Every structure is written in structure tokens, then in C-alpha cells.
Amino acid sequence: MKAYIETEGLVLKGQLPQLDDEENDLDMASTMCCVPFAAVAVGKGENFDPIASDRSLIPYKSILWSEPTESGVFDELEVSYARKVGHKTGVFTSVFTIAAGPKSSESSLISSTVTDDSIILSEKLMARAYPDSKPGVSVLVLINPHGGKGLSLKIYNKEVEPFLRAAHCNLTVIKTKYSGHATDIAEEMDIDKFDLILCASGDGIPHEVINGLYKRSDRAKAFNKLVITQVPAGSGNALSRSCLGTLEPSDAVLEILKGVTVRTDLMAVCSQDQPVIVSFLSQTYGIIAQADIGTEWMRWIGESRFDIGVLSQVLSGRSYPCTIAVKYIARTIEELSDYYRIHMNDASNDADLDDDAFELKYNDVFQETDDLCDISNLPGWEKLDDELCSNMGLLYSGKMPYVSKDTNFFPAALPHDGSMDIVVTDVRAGFFKTVDALLSLDKGLHVWTEEVTHSKVEAFRVIPRAKPGQLPFISVDGENFPFQPFQVEIMRGLMKTVMRDGSYTETGFLDNHRRMQLDSTTL
């Protein structure tokens, strides 16, 4: 099959590797949906018009590397690129010859002439292929061989590393050997050697990495220097789902190579008898924590262990009494919607952080307080309704929209606005209403149901009250946290990560808001 890369009035022509029949089933339509412009065109013959045929277009975004061929021929380039084959994306390398070709409006983005030598053309092609990122970065890969169903090493070797190698990344690969190993690595690593930490794991390894970096005496430098990302290889892959918009490891690595680096807020989880834990995803107490941590022993059944856990919790009608105090940013769903509309396009602050960015605003008061239910020394804080807290089903607070594959739990989450979303439910709503709310999690519709309290806060405190004979779980980023009072506050814009198109995966929050408003006016 012939292949083309179109530039300013030129076409790079080449021969694509022949695929067997099954592989030949190219899913170009879906590639086109991701990226609206064309760079490489795949055609059948010399007179094929690469721009005219949708079926044959592959985007610039797919180009991983370009360089002059070893032969030194002035009009030849060797190009490595990603190409969708069936439902998978693979890496291919072809030699392209520069020739005159059709003009298009897109092509003016690269201005070349047929007499440009291959070095210049290659540089232009690379600049077009990496508009938002740097090619050939140094990557520390951390693989949790026990993540998910124990397939992370295989996933990395087959679906991730070929892309990193084709993109000429400088790779250091470490397999984690024990729980907490990634924290030790991040705490001790030479940060000058790396640009990016890529976790081939679930959410546990990025959680450990940020905590390792946080422990360092040069943590401001570490968080300024390093970008923390994930290719989905565990059972919970919220970081890639929320930031890269995919759970396919090969698509995720392509997004990591080509996406925009964005800063996100982190959350400091404080308790009175242990050091601060840093959280990038969520903290939860009640139904969800029981369903997640409380079903660890059922790991072997895969993702459905969580659904079974939630169902059995809701059926039991068990409550998790506590006292909750919050520092509101947006109290009601209406205030929250207005806030979202105002801040949804706020730009990420790219300036380097200094040590002040790590100063906690409310932790000293928390540490010094004997009566944690007394919030008189916290101006602007409020307690949540006592009746609601005594009958609490779940408390879930988070920073990223998707907490798992289909769970759009925080559809109004924003990356670096200095707030976290908090959701509280009341068991008095009853089984059907709770199940109804939880069944709409995939579309993020639960936040519009009366049974769910949804706010944006800057900080909150939880004082759990265990019933006799019970020791419920508290979960931070899916990891077990000791049962005790805790306080969480936002730390603005600390973590650099990569996001597809520079923002969180679309959640449909504004569309749902419009629909809800329409429904209420037509009633």
C-alpha cells in the first residue's frame, strides 16, 4: 500500500508495510475523529489524492519520529508512526520520498520546497508532529507487576514500550518490588535525569510517586521538573481515564507523548498522629470505601468486585455516622454550576512553584485542637447538617472527574482551580433512590438527584464515629487510610501531568445542566 505525508505543495510518498487480512481492517474513521486534520495519507496508487479520501487519512499526531534515511538521499525520510489496526494501535516505520503533490489549506502550516534537504524537512515534520510537547524525553517507567490482573508487564512490553522507543525516548525501566517501593524511588531519584515518570500501573503507583516527591527536601524543584503520568495497567486507572481520555494503553502512551502538560491541584490529607499524605484523586468514607477496600480479598474477580461491594452496602442500609465541617467554595448545585461555567477555561499557571506552595493553611489549627468538633477557630468554616451526618451513607471527595472506567463521579471537577468536589448521601433516601443515583454515575447525573449533596470546597474535616463492633474503612486514592479523624485541604497546581487537549476528559456536565434547567422549566 502506498503512503503519503503532505506538506506545503509536496507529498512524501512511501510504501506501507503489508498487513495480513485481519490486520488490514484499518479503523481510520476513529483515528479521524480524534484529530481533525490530516498529515499522512494512505493511498492505493500514484494518482491517489490523499486529501480527498477520508478513509486514508492518518494525523500528524501519529508521527513519532522522522529522520533522513541512512542512504543520505536528499529527498528521502524515514518516518515512524502509530497506525490503528483493527481496535489496536501499532507502531510502523516507512521510508518516504519527497515529491510535488496537491496543495491544501492545512499544508501551509509547513512551508517547504522540493529542494529543501531531508534534514530541514524532517525538522519541520517533527515540529508539526509535536506541537505541544518535546520529542525524545527522558522517561522513568515504573511497572507494578502485581497491578490489576498481573498483566502490567506484558501490557507495557507489548503496547507501550514500542511507542516510547519509536519516539526516541530515553528509558529507565524499574519494576516495583514491594508496596511502597515507588515512594522510595521517587524520594531518592535523581530528578535532573528525567522529564517524565510513567506509571504502568493502577492509581496506587502515581499515589506513591507523588508522596515520595512530597517527602523530598527539594520537593518544589521535583514537582516543577517532573511530569507524572499513567498508562492504564491496573484495576483502577482514574488518572489516564480522567486526563488522557482512554483506557487503551497504546492510545494512552500516544497521548502522553503528544498531549499538553497541565498542572493539577493536589490534596493534603492530615491526621493528628501521622505525617501528611498527598492525594491526587479522592478520599472516601462509607459505602464506597467499604466497597473498594472492604472487597480487596475478592481481587481475583476483577472490576465487578466493586459493583458487588456497592450493591451489598446499599442493600444493608448501613450508615456511617460522623461530623463533617467544610470551607465552601460553592455550596449548592446551582452555585457549583455557575462556578464551573466561570472557571472551566481558566489557564494553567505554568510558573515554577516555590516552597510556599506547599504551606498548609488549616493544618496547624487541626493539630492543636483538642475538641475537633469545635470549629470556632476556623473562620468561614461550617458544619454539615447533624441529621444528615448521623445518617450518612457515603462521603466522597475528589479532584478528577472519572474515579474509574465508567464512574463519572465528579463531573464538575476542574484541574487547577483550587477546589475539590465533595459528595454526601443520606441513607434515609432508601434503597431504590440510592441505587437510582448510583446507576447514573456513568453519565454524572447523580449530582442532580435530590438524594445527593454536591459542593465545591477548599477544605473539610471528618470526625467519624464508629458503631460498636465496627471499624469502617477510609480510603485515600483507593488505598487504606487508618480509621481516625482527618482533615483535607487543597494544594494548588502542584502536580504536572499530561492531558489530552490540555483539559480533563469531557464529562457532559454543562449539557446535563442545560437539560435539567429545561426539564424544570417545562414541568
Binding site for ligand ATP (CB under 6 A): 144-148, 176-181, 201-205, 208, 234-236, 478-479
Q: Is 298 helix (H, G, I), strand (E, B) or coil?
A: helix
Phi–psi pair at 437, nearest 5 degrees? -65, -40
* Kind of pairing between the strands at 196-201 and 227-232: parallel
Choice between 41 and 205, CB closer to ligand ATP: 205
Q: Is 477 a catalytic residue?
A: no
> Alpha-carbon distance 246 to 415, whole Å?
17
Find the angle CA(236)-CA(238)-CA(241) to the nearest 5 degrees. Answer: 120
Choice between 178 and 432, CB closer to ligand ATP: 178
CB of 317 to ligand ATP, least distance (A): 26
Choice between 210 and 384, CB closer to ligand ATP: 210
Using the structure block, give the residue that is written with the C-alpha cell 503533490.
101
Of the candidates 455, 247, 276, the residue with the CA atom closest to the CA atom of residue 358: 276
Tell me whether residue 423 is exposed, middle or buried, using C-beta atoms within 10 angstroms of its C-beta: 0 to 12, 13 to 18, 19 or more. Answer: buried
393-404 burial, b at 16+ Cβ within 10 Å, e below that, comes to bbbbbbbbbbbb
User: 231 with 156: CB under 8 angstroms?
Assistant: yes
223-251 burial, b at 16+ Cβ within 10 Å, e below that, comes to bbbbbbbbbbbbbbbbbbbbbbbbbbbbb
Of the candidates 516, 241, 263, 282, the residue with the CA atom closest to the CA atom of residue 399: 282
Of the candidates 207, 204, 144, 209, the residue with the CA atom closest to the CA atom of residue 173: 144
Choice between 407 and 455, CB closer to ligand ATP: 407
Choice between 405 and 492, CB closer to ligand ATP: 405
CB of 482 to ligand ATP, least distance (A): 16
Which distant-in-sequence residues (6+ apart) come within 8 Å of 170 by Cβ? 136, 137, 138, 139
The full length of the chain comes to: 523
CB of 184 to ligand ATP, least distance (A): 11
CB of 233 to ligand ATP, least distance (A): 7
Query: Angle at which helices 304-316 and 431-439 pack, to 10 degrees?
Result: 160
Instruction: Please report, as a single letter, which amino acid is at residue 262.
Output: V
CB of 8 to ligand ATP, least distance (A): 46
Q: What is the DSSP letter of 318?
A: -
Using the structure block, give the residue that is written with the C-alpha cell 414541568.
523
> Alpha-carbon distance 252 to 206, whole Å?
15
> Alpha-carbon distance 283 to 214, whole Å?
18
CB of 142 to ligand ATP, least distance (A): 9
Q: Which of 116, 203, 251, 292 is catalytic?
A: 203
CB of 116 to ligand ATP, least distance (A): 47
Nearest residue to ligand ATP, scored by beta-carbon proximity? 202
Instruction: Please report, as a single letter, which amino acid is at residue 327.
Output: K
Choice between 118 and 235, CB closer to ligand ATP: 235
Of the candidates 415, 402, 397, the residue with the CA atom closest to the CA atom of residue 501: 415
Choice between 112 and 480, CB closer to ligand ATP: 480
Q: How far is CA 522 from the centre of its chain?
A: 37
Choice between 177 and 465, CB closer to ligand ATP: 177
What residues are paired with 81 via a beta bridge?
63, 92
CB of 284 to ligand ATP, least distance (A): 13
Of the candidates 297, 255, 296, the residue with the CA atom closest to the CA atom of residue 82: 255
Instruction: Please report, as a single letter, which amino acid is at residue 206.
Output: P
Choice between 237 and 425, CB closer to ligand ATP: 237
CB of 178 to ligand ATP, least distance (A): 5
Q: Annotated catalytic sites, by residue?
A: 203
